Structure 1
Amino acid sequence: MNELLFERSSGNTGPNVFARWQTTQLLKSFRPAPQFRFDGGERGTAVADGEASSGPSGSSSSSIWAHQAGVSALSLERFDGRILISGASDASIKLWDLEECGSPSQPHVFKPVASIVRSEKSHKYGITHLSFYPFDSAAFLSTSYDQTLKLWSTEGTQLSASFNLGNKVYTHAISPIASHLLVACGTQHPAVRLVDLRSGANVQSLAGHGGAVLAAAWSPRYEHVLATGSVDGTVKIWDVRRASALIGMLDHEDSLGLYHNGLLGADGKVRIRASAKAHTAPVNGLTWTDDGSYIVSAGHDRRIRVWDAATGRNTLASFGPSIRNSHLGSVTMFTSPVGLTHPGKELLFWPNDTETLVLDLHDGHVITKLRGTGPAVAGVRSTGGAERTVKNRTTSIVWRGAGGHGGSSGVVMGGSNMAGAIFSAHLDGQIRAWTPHIQGNDDEDEGDDLDGISEEKAQKRKALDDVFRSLMGNKITFT
């Protein structure tokens, strides 16, 4: 670090290179932040892993849940990174204001600013996916196993529109850049449903998958391009403007791409290999890098694959045997924003069952593992006496950059808010926070207890202070 500071001061290292090095170090240093808790107001008794049903946990703090039934989905608004919404297995939805936290170094218990409970007008079954309206945080979308897609007003949590899709809805996606306001819904039916928020109609069905659609993601570069993944192992690329919308399929055996493997016909059009499969098992995870250059897919074959979005070629990034993925539902993952790291050094954040892996996107090696503080198996005994035991799986993760979701200022923490964090949802009912470890944090130094500082450390500080004062106190004159 000192060498890098010297290189920057001497002009050998530019400010952008130094900033990327610093943010890369922060991205690799996330650790649990147990001082931040989410209390949804539900009461009961937590049962620890392996604990007999007659012996409830005596810790009062363990009886705080965001959703006692288990948190199944999360979403964070992308502008200020302030409003977090969470959905539960009991069909409830809660909104949290992350700006409640006065200082990121002080413990804080978040309380929901609004709640939506199960009712005839709201959802009846578990929430499967949540997302904010892309251009304004005043609205958000939710889908559920009750076969509906709903549009809500954030202010007052009022229902604005409801769409019955006729099948269980596993996921939905809305483009972050498009003006067409089409919501792609993956359901139990093999056809992808497109819902137009403007007209309130199901305007199109994209037929071609051989089973339920578990994953969907719009391109962040081309507003009409959509990628979807299915239980049949296929990942299809669509252009929703075309009558025959399918424009490509990803093939895990193709390391050259559509335009380089002899599939270009005499008419200049690309012929698609009908048997192409991205994975040998159901595909339940899809995301794009935020510059649209790469597509990342994940499947039940315990493989994560990275694809060149321009050609469709498999980059052959190997993520090793540690990947765990068996849940029949959409998996949320994300990549670090382009620009925070050096080109070609982007990171992938993957919810790996009971932990979150930070992986190098292009060579697949594990950078670090974010392991939760809760038990692997969690039980909850409600006030009514009912008890449930679940595997404490991570169901969703969201990214909060400094100054907003995915902000260009990265993960640097500062100011009075909790900027630069990852939030994860868990089936034990908790929402957990993860923050980067900042070396030499001024707040920590000011809050140090003098009794806890070793004598040697105090002497070194005094010596450095004396040197600094002696240098700054001498006036230098030139004759």
Structure 2
Amino acid sequence: MNRLLFERSTGNVGPNAFARLHAASLVTSLWAAPEYRFDGGERGAAVHDGELSPGNHIWAHQSGVNALALERFEGRILVSGGSDASIKIWDLEQYQSPDQVSINTFKPTGTIPRCSSPSGGNGHRFGVTHLSFYPFDSAAFLSTSFDQTLKLWSTDAAKVSGSFQLGSKVYTHAVSPIASHLLVACGTQHPAVRLVDLRSGANVQSLSGHGGAVLSASWSPRHEHVLATGSVDGTVRLWDIRRAGGAIGLLDLEDSLGLYYNGLLGVDGTGRPMVRRSRLSAKAHSAPVNGLTWTDDGNYIVSAGHDRRIRVWDAATGRNTLASFGPSIQNNQLSGVTMFTSPQGVTPPGKELLFWPNESEVLVMDLHEGTIITRLRSVGPSTAGVRSASGARGGERTVRNRITSLVWRGSGGGGSSSGVVTGGSNTSAAIYSAHLDGQIRAWVPALSRKSERFGSKHEGDSLDLDDDDDEDPDQKGEDRAKKRKALDDVFKSLMGKQITFS
């Protein structure tokens, strides 16, 4: 860091490059922050590796956390959905004790309980599968559930504003971050992608073509009418919702040149993407595709499947870039995987990072090389559960400590304009993860952890973070004197020798 500051002060590094380099160093120094805890108000006895764990335990959702969503304007409001169908709203900037060593415990500002009646109540009846905020206003968010419904909620009132019955189990939904239309793409047990218009409240369109349930969906951040969806049949289809048929093409794992698909390379006279016929047998994966995302600039599509492969595609040509992420990838869950890439400005162009929930750890990988930059390992046992507060054996539930959802906090809480939290607020964090053991965990840069003086120093503090500031001034002066004397001795030993030439 000192060298980077020196280069910036001498003008060798420009302000944009400086911000990008500093942001990248913070991202790669993320570590678990167990001092941030989420208390949903549920009580019981914890079960770790089959044995009761002593002490008091808290959970965000005792039954397990299925989904997370974070509003992108201030990075302040976090919404979580549980396996028990409940939804909780958290304020990440709620006031905490000024004591930096204390545990920061968040409590929900709003709770939407499970609805037990099929005909009444606001909440969902079965587990929440996906959450997302309204794209242009944090005052509303969306949720889908195994109860076959899509619901629109008021964030402040924690009340339902609209409910849409889709007639099939809903695995995921997606809202365009840039579009003027208010269409929600829903992936359900039915092979057709359902488009719900929030303005009219109707299912305005169905996109047919997949051969099975749709597990993943993601809108292009560049073309407001382009949608990518993944299915259990191993295909990834791209759609232009303005077209009658809708389909643009298929991503083909055997196409490393972009020969069979040319959907986003250009536009025709009407402004619509050009289309070239794809191979009818084209597949992106040899197993169900349950993960899809785009890079922020819209240049690449990232897909993940049950074949334990992650593939990166050129969005303009449909070319498989052949990025290899190795054998470490784990992907067994049927529901959608919420992976994401580093936002624009955080890393240099062509050096984007991929954040992948790999069972009980988060892998931070180079998007194009596939190499693992760092592993974020969660604190706690591999299996965990709860026993009901009454102590009844029948109330015990044991699950694997698997990560189900990830969200990036790029603003608010001391966040910088480049999308990385640089410390300052004791509630700031770069990433939040949801776990099946009922916890929501935070991951913060090592610099933020050091400033909070929580616990012992860990490996992240070795990243040139001016650790000498914590030493005693007299000790620092003595060390400097020793170093200066050693350098003087070396200098004298070299310069004191008489050199002759013959």
TM above 0.5, one fold? yes
State the match for 1:149 in structure 2.
Answer: 150
Query: Does structure 2 retain, via aligned residues, the 8 Å contact 1:227–1:235?
Result: yes
Unmatched segments (≥5 aa) in structure 1: 467-479
Change (3 A) 1:207 1:95: same
State the match for 1:394 in structure 2.
Answer: 403
Over residues 345-370 of structure 1, what are the superposed CA-to-partner deviations in whole Å (9 max), with x where a residue is unaligned?
11110000111100111100001111
Change (3 A) 1:273 1:444: same
SS of aligned partner of 1:99:
coil
- Offset at residue 163 of structure 1 (A): 0.7
**2 CA distance for matches of 1:174 and 1:406?**
24
Over residues 395-445 of structure 1, what are the superposed CA-to-partner deviations in whole Å (9 max), with x where a residue is unaligned?
001000133799633323233353342100001100001101018966659
State the match for 1:81 in structure 2.
Answer: 75
Over residues 117-166 of structure 1, what are the superposed CA-to-partner deviations in whole Å (9 max), with x where a residue is unaligned?
11132210000000110000111110000111011111111111111111
Change (3 A) 1:81 1:87: same
SS of aligned partner of 2:109:
strand
One-letter identity of the residue aligned with 1:305: R
**2 CA distance for matches of 1:229 and 1:454?**
51
> Structure 1 stretch 120-129 or stretch 38-47: which is displaced more?
120-129
Match among 429, 437, 440 for residue 446 of structure 2? 437
Query: Does structure 2 retain, via aligned residues, the 8 Å contact 1:402–1:413?
Result: no
State the match for 1:31 in structure 2.
Answer: 31
Corresponding position: 1:409 with 2:418: yes
TM, length-normalised to structure 2: 0.85
How many positions carry a matched residue from both structures? 452
State the match for 1:118 in structure 2.
Answer: 114
One-letter identity of the residue aligned with 2:347: T
One-letter identity of the residue aligned with 1:93: I
Corresponding position: 1:344 with 2:359: no
State the match for 2:432 in structure 1.
Answer: 423
SS of aligned partner of 1:100:
coil
Match among 49, 64, 81 for residue 58 of structure 2? 64
State the match for 1:316 in structure 2.
Answer: 322
Over residues 266-322 of structure 1, what are the superposed CA-to-partner deviations in whole Å (9 max), with x where a residue is unaligned?
x98511111110000000000011111111000000000111111111111100000
State the match for 2:494 in structure 1.
Answer: none
Query: Does structure 1 retain, via aligned residues, the 8 Å contact 2:357–2:363?
Result: yes
Query: Does structure 1 retain, via aligned residues, the 8 Å contact 2:20–2:418?
Result: no
Identical pairs, percent:
69
- Offset at residue 462 of structure 1 (A): 5.0
- Offset at residue 19 of structure 1 (A): 1.7
State the match for 2:463 in structure 1.
Answer: none
- Offset at residue 212 of structure 1 (A): 0.3
TM, length-normalised to structure 1: 0.89
Over residues 172-199 of structure 1, what are the superposed CA-to-partner deviations in whole Å (9 max), with x where a residue is unaligned?
0010111110000000000000000000
SS of aligned partner of 1:8:
helix
Change (3 A) 1:258 1:162: farther
- Offset at residue 461 of structure 1 (A): 4.0
Query: Does structure 1 retain, via aligned residues, the 8 Å contact 2:248–2:275?
Result: no
One-letter identity of the residue aligned with 1:110: F
Residues 170-185 of structure 1 correspond to what in structure 2 (within 5 A)?
170-185=171-186
Unmatched segments (≥5 aa) in structure 2: 269-273, 458-466, 482-502
**1 CA distance for matches of 2:16 and 2:426?**
25
Corresponding position: 1:166 with 2:181: no
Query: Does structure 1 retain, via aligned residues, the 8 Å contact 2:413–2:421?
Result: no
One-letter identity of the residue aligned with 1:292: G
**2 CA distance for matches of 1:126 and 1:171?**
12
State the match for 1:459 in structure 2.
Answer: 474
Change (3 A) 1:24 1:273: same
**1 CA distance for matches of 2:195 and 2:303?**
21
> Structure 1 stretch 435-444 or stretch 103-112: which is displaced more?
435-444
- Offset at residue 375 of structure 1 (A): 1.2
**1 CA distance for matches of 2:299 and 2:448?**
33
Corresponding position: 1:18 with 2:18: yes
Stretches of 4+ aligned residues off by more than 6 angstroms: 404-407, 452-456, 463-466
